[in-house]
Structure 1
Amino acid sequence: MDIHQIRKLQIGSVTLPNNLILGPMAGVTDLPFRLLCKEQGAGLLCMEMVSAKAILYKNKNTESLLSIDEREKPVSLQMFGSDPQIMAQIAKQIEERPFDILDINMGCPVPKIVNNGEGSALMKNPLLAGQIIESIVKAIDKPVTVKIRKGFDDEHVNAVELAHVAEESGASAVAVHGRTREQYYSGKADWDIIRQVKEAVSIPVIGNGDLLSAEDVIKMQEQTGCDGFMIARGAQGNPWIFSQILHYFETGEHQEKPSFEEVRRMILRHARMMIEFKGEYTGIHEMRKHTAWYTAGYPHSSRLRAAVNTVESLEQLEELLYK
């Protein structure tokens, strides 16, 4: 078995300790969750996406989205917007914050983002996409990366064109999700489009979509030749995925699935971190979905998932888990 798939990855001036990347997920990749994934060996952590306009207008919710802990580094801050001047202005304004890489979101499929001409809507406007990337690259010294999809829909599959635009506009890497905007997260990710992008550009290409195990990483590596692997939904309720993949590449052996006791301990630790970071009300409410993800596939998990939606405190969560 070739054990060289997991390697350091250079993105501009930043060297990642390995090429396993926690993908950005709104409402999921907040500071507590990123720290847990870092402990398990993730080579780069991507933050939840933040709106350039929200920073511009000093929206009170953006400050917690911009929080970074020194223990996380290297970390990528993801910004979205559609105005090249505002994007560049905000990139410069926040550059002194302790993130290592600035990522531009051109993949988010959510209607309110797309209807604003942001996120994956930019896949339909390569000229504007290029202007945004170029303006940000000129405004800051930190490496700039871009996250795109296969295309907007099956009639407009243009990831290769967008990746060329990104490279020519000065991006240091591009991440490609093998689904169109119209697919959202359904159906199977098309890894062949990742291969096509890899063959078309010389900057690092990070593959994203349906990475749930070490075998998936091997298959994506073989099929696409991509440089890095972005794990998003595969990490929900399973921060261990990073250590599992690293262990497999180091030893050729599968790490055992965490015992339910380990899962319980991780949920409670995660909950305490969430409460510390967001306060008990928000922290516990947000832990409900995490708890459902953590316990999926374990005995009695459906009963537990139904009950967790009534939990209002750490004590109640603990009580439920030890029933």
Structure 2
Amino acid sequence: MEIAGYRFPNALALAPMAGVTDRVFRRVCRGFGASVTVGEMVSARSELRDTRKSRLRLDFSGEPAPRIIQIAGGDAADLAAAARVNADAGADIIDINMGCPAKKVCRKAAGSALMADIDHVGRILDAVVAASPVPVTLKMRTGVSADRINAVAIAKMAERAGIAALAVHGRTRDQHYRGVAEYDTIAAVVAAVSIPVWANGDVDSVARAREVRAATGAAGLMIGRAACRRPWLFRQIAAAAEGRPPVAEPGLADEAEIVLGLVEQVHDFYGEEQGVRVARKHIGWLCERRAPHPALYMDLMTAATAARQIRLLDRYFDAVNLAA
């Protein structure tokens, strides 16, 4: 896949996820083979640009190009200004969020709620592309609800406006993350436009990746929740697509090194108090894949210091090893 001169050899992208795809996690996923990583969405509202949360979300220090920043909002002028400001600050690509189904985002007529008003979508696309000195991409869903599927119409509008690439999540806004993603609409989008399209939704294994590519004809795959639990999935999918020998799941010792390294970096990035809270999400995803050890899990979820969290993680992996 190529977008505006940037080449992505395996076309595997880490989906932007608020509260997850910070600089630390992006680095981990690139290390496991993701060729595209997108930052967490940042508000287009000017008064929120200089908050600590926004500064952390816009921290791309030490990362290779392209640095992709996702902007969210409901006002065309705000989004256009945000695109220009973030490009001037170093973004190589601006991504517009029309995919987030979270209530707090949709209540502000942003994210996937925007897809309910196709005329307003057109105004936003035209304004952002005109204002941005760097390429603009769009992430969206299939529609607002099952009876209002309009991704193809929006995709055509986006291409006319000058959008450089699309990512389509195979669910409607009202599905949130429930049910099973469908790929027929993504295939219809791919057939309707000439710009690259990423297929997103339920890509959680090598076999599913193969199925989604075949079903959609998409130029690339975008992986979200599955990468939180198994960031090495990128490497496994890439190996299969390139005809290389299968990449095994990491052994327990390797997984412990990966998780402990990630948690320590999260502590450093956010500072101890916030870092411990953010790390709990990653620890929770880990515990979905391993033996529960309820008492240890509860201790991990309530640990208040970085040192205690690391110490308990060590104990957790020791317990898993003993149970094996």
TM bracket (short chain): over 0.9
Matched residue of 2:94: which SS?
Answer: strand
Matched AA of 1:202: S
Q: For residue 223 of structure 1, what is the aligned residue in structure 2?
A: 215
Read off the aligned partner of 1:153 and give its amino acid letter. Answer: S
Structure 2 counterpart of 1:101, one-letter code? I
- Residue of structure 2 in register with 1:181 after alignment: 173
Aligned residues: 315
- Structure 2 counterpart SS, 1:82: coil
What stretches of structure 1 of length at least 5 have no aligned partner? Answer: 1-8
1:168-247 mapped onto 2 (5 Å cutoff): 168-247=160-239
Is 1:53 the counterpart of 2:36? The answer is: no
Q: Does residue 144 of structure 1 match 2:136?
A: yes
Structure 2 partner of 1:124 = 116
Question: Which 10-residue stretch deviates more, 208-217 or 310-319?
Answer: 310-319
Do residues 281 (structure 1) and 247 (structure 2) align?
A: no
- How far did residue 72 of structure 1 move? 4.1
Go from structure 1 to structure 2 and tell me whether the alpha carbon gap of 1:207 and 1:57 turns closer, same or farther (over 3 Å shift). closer
Q: Answer yes or no: is the 8 Å Cα contact 2:13–2:223 preserved in 1.
A: yes
**What is the CA distance between 1:256 and its match in structure 2?**
1.6
Please list every run of 5 or more consecutive structure 2 residues that lacks an aligned counterpart in the other structure: 316-324
Q: Distance in 1 between matches of 2:296 and 2:48?
A: 42
Q: What residue number does 1:3 align with?
A: none
2:18 alignment partner, one of 19, 26, 39: 26
Residues 165-201 of structure 1 deviation map (CA, whole Å, 9 limit, x = unaligned): 1111110011100001110001000111100101111
Alignment of 1:42 with 2:34, yes or no, is: yes
Separation in 2, partners of 1:93, 1:255: 41
SS at match of 2:289: coil
- C-alpha spacing 1:274/1:211, structure 2 compared with 1 (3 Å): same
State the alpha-carbon separation in 2 of the partners of residues 59 and 314 from structure 1: 24
> Shift in Å at residue 304 of structure 1?
4.1
Deviations 1:87-107 (A, max 9, x none): 112211221233321100011
> Of Structure 1 and Structure 2, which has the larger fraction of its residues in helix?
2
CA distance in 2, matches of 1:311, 1:71: 31
- For the aligned residues, what is the CA RMSD? 1.7
Alpha carbons of structure 1 residues 101 and 314: separation in structure 2 relative to 1, 3 Å: same
Amino acid at match of 2:199: G
TM-score (norm 1): 0.92
Aligned equivalents of 1:84 and 1:250: distance in 2?
41
Look up the match of 1:4.
Answer: none
* Residues 1:15 and 2:7 are matched in the alignment: yes
Deviates more, 1:183-192 or 1:86-95: 86-95
Q: Distance in 1 between matches of 2:243 and 2:49?
A: 50
C-alpha distance in structure 1 between counterparts of 2:24 and 2:295, whole Å: 26
Assess, with a 3 A threshold, how the Cα gap between structure 1 residues 55 and 31 changes in structure 2: closer, same or farther: farther
Q: Deviation at 1:56?
A: 5.8
What's the TM-score once normalised by structure 2's chain length? 0.92
Show the counterpart of 1:272: 264
Give SS of 1:117's match: coil
**1:24–1:49: 8 Å Cα contact kept in structure 2?**
yes
Q: Of 302, 305, 321, which residue of structure 1 is paired with 2:313?
A: 321
Equivalent AA in structure 1 for residue 85 of structure 2:
Q
SS in structure 1 of the partner of residue 120 of structure 2: helix
Q: For residues 24 and 91 of structure 1, do their structure 2 counterparts lie closer, same or farther at Cα, with a shift above 3 Å needed?
A: same
- Alignment of structure 1 residues 79-94 onto 2, 5 Å: 79-94=71-86
Q: Percent identity?
A: 36
